[in-house]
Structure 1
Amino acid sequence: MKLKISFACIAIIVIAILTGSYHYLNTVWLQPRTIKPSLYTLRLGSRLDNTLSQLVPLSKPEQFAIRFYLRLHPEQAMVKAGTYKLPSNSNLNEIAAIFRSGKVYQYRITLVEGETFNQWWNQLVSAPGMAHSTQTPEQIAHSLGLTENQFEGLLLPETYYYTHDSQPAQVLSRAYQAMQKVVEKNWQSRAASLPLKTSYQLLILASLIEKETAINSEMPIIASVFINRLNHHMRLQTDPTVIYGLGNRYNGDITRADLKEKTPYNTYIIQGLPPTPIAMPGKAAIEAAAHPANTDYFYFVANGQGGHHFSKSLNEHHKAVRKYILQHE
């Protein structure tokens, strides 16, 4: 009888210990924690128990409990390397699930229309999470099979997502492929009367439109002015080409001397389009270049309200210019 009582006592004690241990494991595993930092890079070969100890302060009993729990549930420790975003309040079970998911954090970078390649490159190489570039822009262009010696105008302005330690070349390649699709679509559907020989010239024209206005509804009208001038063998005379030709010498003001300086881009001097785009055109500017409005306009000037006044004759244009000057005196 005493032996039966002893076995019963032992069983009760064992059950109590197991129950207590189970509750303690659950408490350790499910207790909400304050997580810092929010972005964490899990290296290849990292152990989950060591990683959790780095993320949150754990007592020795808690560390032992975690190791014991992972031995009981080895599938919980099957984590994937990468950079993850962790909620500020999470329990260890939720953190482990994030590491197992393989859904790594996506950085984002917005490359804006109207900017130059140099501006984009500086933004890319300093972007958070971006690896140091192992290639120069020239090498990247060569790897894409480009005959042009620069990326100007060949990349689509867009928001791009990338993972930790991505190379700038990966973003540039996607931006180039995206632009190719947009240009090809618009080139195939272009207006029949366009005085353009190649899709590259379409990009050049689109870049001029992009630099002249930020109003999408104006872009087809701006395009019509350029097309009308090209058809009548008139110089385009657009200030952004002068600025681009000056490069780093541009200080914010265009002088008479600047307008007379012969650069490959100065459309006050050269006939027709400049040799390359002068900025990254967006979709609206490309569509406008391919499908300009049907107008008799040959001139435009800022109207002082964010848009432009369009004129059919030089006399009308001079009046609009004088009005603009009087408004800003």
Structure 2
Amino acid sequence: MKRWISGILLCSILLMFLTGCSKGTTEDTSSLKTFSWPAETEEIQSSTASQEDASTQSTDAQQTGGTQGQGTTPPSTSHETSSVPAPVPVKFVVYEGDTFMEIANRLEEKGVCSAADFYKTAQNYTVKSFYVPESSDRCFKMEGYLFPATYDFVQNDDPEDVLRDMLNAYAAYSGMPSDEDLTLASIIEQEARSSEHMALVSSVYHNRIAKGMSLDSDPTREYVNDYITGNSLVSNQSKYAPLYNTYRFSGLPSGPICNPGNRAIQAAQNPAQTNYYYFFFGNDNTNHYSETYEEHLAQMEQYGVQYQ
């Protein structure tokens, strides 16, 4: 009996012990369920979202050229303009009778190009559309071929472009003369002083050339003195005096002495038909013509002009 009662008591105690253990286990498991697994998942999701946002911002930045502080250049604003100034236009006139050096010096004065650059360009330029003699006896290679007209240039222009425009204007001239006609026209331009006398002056020179006489033209002598002698751009100056001064030889000089206009060119090609061999410009501001040297001297004395 005592053993049975002892067994019951022992079973009861064991049952109570097991029941208590079961409750403790349930509470511990419950506390584990409240550990922040969901919170940890949100951090991972938040981290992933942050990485995605950062990636998106980086992509946007790359597409828009970046942002300041990352070594990129911000886009230019509308008020930023170029600092290169606009070309300054220049209206330039080549007058009938202008010499090469007069044109070159005036180009420099107006800021188109320097006289030295224009001279060097002209001396080395090869014309393809018409004939220009390649002779070392010509002091200024393009003298006579710079056609009198009004041109549109700019300051600091290219001297080759400037020269080409003048030569193109000459090439467009329908009555393009020979170099001999152009040379004679340049003398007529300087001697006649007015268009009314050009054909008469031309007749004098045509008659003298036909007779083998020297032209004795004052402008050819003045050309040497004014534009060749003492010109720092011209080397071997002394050799040109006997090539241009028509008091020293018969026939035409080695090239034109200016850039003649259309009327002088026409007169050179179509002289008046006369027997004149002499003329001079009197103190009455007009030309006087004669057939003989004696008549020439008498007229000069009559008008108070001394023979030079």
TM-score scaled to structure 1, two decimals?
Answer: 0.56
> In the TM superposition, what whole-angstrom CA distance separates every residue of 1:1-47 from its partner, at most 9, and x where no partner exists?
xxxxxxxxxxxxxxxxxxxxxxxxxxxxxxxxxxxxxxxxxxxxx99
Q: Structure 2: where are the runs of 5+ without partners?
A: 1-75, 231-239
Q: Which residue of 2 aligns with 1:144?
A: 126
Distance in 2, Cα, partners of 1:313 & 1:293 = 18
Structure 1 pair 131/269, CA: closer, same or farther in 2 (3 Å)?
closer
SS in 2 for 1:162: strand
CA RMSD of aligned residues (A): 3.4
Amino acid corresponding to residue 175 of structure 1 in structure 2:
M
Distance in 1, Cα, partners of 2:302 & 2:179 = 37
User: Cα offset for 1:312?
Assistant: 1.7
> In the TM superposition, what whole-angstrom CA distance separates every residue of 1:129-165 from its partner, at most 9, and x where no partner exists?
x256894523344333352562211211222112354
Give matches, 1:179-328, under 5 Å.
179-182=170-173, 185-187=175-177, 199-247=178-226, 263-325=242-304
> In the TM superposition, what whole-angstrom CA distance separates every residue of 1:191-249 from its partner, at most 9, and x where no partner exists?
xxxxxxxx111111011101112201111111111001111111111111112233468
SS in 1 for 2:304: helix
Contact map agreement 1:124 1:168 (CA 8 A) in 2: no
Count of residue correspondences = 213
Contact map agreement 1:186 1:290 (CA 8 A) in 2: no
Amino acid corresponding to residue 154 of structure 1 in structure 2:
Y
The one of 100, 103, 107 equivalent to 2:90 is: 107
Distance in 2, Cα, partners of 1:170 & 1:186 = 21
Distance in 2, Cα, partners of 1:156 & 1:266 = 24
Q: Does 1:174 align with 2:152?
A: no
Structure 1 pair 319/106, CA: closer, same or farther in 2 (3 Å)?
same
Q: Which runs of 4+ in 1 moved over 6 A?
A: none
Of structures 1 and 2, the one scoring higher in RCO (CA 8 A, sep 6+) is 2
Distance in 1, Cα, partners of 2:261 & 2:153 = 21
User: Cα offset for 1:275?
Assistant: 0.7
Q: Which residue of 1 aligns with 2:42?
A: none
Q: Structure 1: where are the runs of 5+ without partners?
A: 1-45, 55-79, 84-104, 188-198, 252-260
User: Cα offset for 1:325?
Assistant: 1.8
User: Cα offset for 1:304?
Assistant: 2.0
Contact map agreement 1:301 1:310 (CA 8 A) in 2: yes
TM-score scaled to structure 2, two decimals?
Answer: 0.60
